[in-house]
Amino acid sequence: MTTAKRTELSEIGEFGLIERLRGFLPAKSSNTLQSIGDDAAVCRIPEHNVQLISTDMLMEGVHFDLSYTPLMHLGYKAIAVNISDIAAMNGIPSHVLVGLALSNRFSVEAIEEIYKGMKLACDDYGIDLVGGDTTSSRSGLGISVTAIGFNEPDKVVYRSGAQVNDLICVTGDLGAAFMGLQVLEREKQVYLANPDMQPELQTKEYIVQRQLRPEARMDVIKNLKRIGVQPTSMIDVSDGLASELLHICKESQLGAYIYEDKLPIDPMTFDTAREFELDPLTVMMNGGEDYELLFTIAQADYEKIRNHPDITVIGYTKPIEEGVNIYTKGENLVPVTAQGWNHFKV
């Protein structure tokens, strides 16, 4: 039984809530001239920079399940996935705005829990939460985040910039968030069948955390800048490697070859995929929600990233006529398709 305090939203009203959020979210950046409290936020972007703006929406029942998602993690994730889009443009994030659709199921304390996670993410990424909108909802929680960032125009990296014979790189490892989701869904079913059962999540901590609390790879963006590597094209891995690679190839009008044995996978992801009788390759190609970065670099930059612990070269780009292909471990050359890996068994 929880004895936590519960303040109904109706007790303090929308304005009361906004006042509390305002006190909780003081602006930190000198680029924030007006934060929550006026009709619009007023933010400065550095001179000679362009603005990057991106928005993403998370809906209860579609993007998250509150039966196993801690509200604080949800708040963190809502910010992180938006910052990931700014990172994927090689941008520097500066501000976010948050739209909330709330049902009266949510207490003020629950909403504050979401904002605690958001604040943590804002502090981690060095950005300010400068406003938003609040509305009621009759069907679950909705969170819409708009992220704003900037960069010099010639430092912005597009999906369309890859050149023939560039190296294709990916950060971190793939498929973990998807396998984390499978574990959470399984434990939910176990719990529904027998509420006395304790969820078995301890041995799956890494992949579960990858699902519940992903990070935007701003660390890699800063790193690449420091070592003097400007990617030729870039995208973040939200829908799975296959889909993102196809996006880059389509926008850059190129083909590609990638190699299964180069694809980075954590042993826990691999073992859990086997446990669920899923093909680890399918999981990496189509899993989604990893929020790693997929990017291309000129071959001349290879030496600079060769020993980078968080970057793996997985293949190279080719003329468009060659198509987008993967060399499997069995030495088969298979075309990459966005859904083609589903139910593919080795």
SS3 of residue 96 by DSSP: strand
Query: Does 131 interact with ligand ADP (rule: CB under 6 A)?
Result: yes
Query: Does 18 interact with ligand ADP (rule: CB under 6 A)?
Result: yes
Q: Which is nearer to ligand ADP, 21 or 297 (CB)?
A: 21
Residue 99, beta-bridge partner list: 133, 144
Q: Which is nearer to ligand ADP, 71 or 241 (CB)?
A: 71
* Alpha helices for the chain (secondary structure H): 9-24, 71-87, 108-125, 176-193, 205-212, 218-226, 241-252, 267-275, 280-286, 302-305
Query: Does 13 interact with Mg ion (rule: CB under 5 A)?
Result: no
> Which residue bears the tokens 């891995």?
237
Taking residues 94 to 113 in sequence order and writing x for each that binds ligand ADP by CB under 6 A, - otherwise, the string is ----x-x-------------
Q: Which of 11, 123, 133, 185 binds ligand ADP (CB under 6 A)?
A: 133
How many residues make contact with ligand ADP (CB under 6 A)?
Answer: 12
Which of these segments, 36-44, 136-144, 281-289, 324-332, binds ligand ADP (CB under 6 A)?
36-44
Query: Does 86 interact with ligand ADP (rule: CB under 6 A)?
Result: no
Which stretches does DSSP call E strand in 182-309? Answer: 233-236, 254-259, 293-297
| Residue 21: CB minimum distance to ligand ADP, A | 5
Q: Which is nearer to ligand ADP, 100 or 256 (CB)?
A: 100
Phi, psi of 319 (to 5 degrees): -60, 155
SS3 of residue 234 by DSSP: strand
- Using CB under 6 A as the binding rule, the residues of this chain from 301 to 330 that contact ligand ADP are none
Q: How far apart (Å, rounded) are the C-alpha atoms in residues 120 and 74? A: 11
> Which residue bears the tokens 């007790």?
11
- Using CB under 5 A as the binding rule, the residues of this chain from 130 to 189 that contact Mg ion are 133
Among 264, 225, 250, smallest CA distance to 338 is for: 250
Q: Note the residues at the interface with Mg ion (CB under 5 A).
A: 133
Q: Note the residues at the interface with ligand ADP (CB under 6 A).
A: 18, 21, 36-39, 98, 100, 131-134
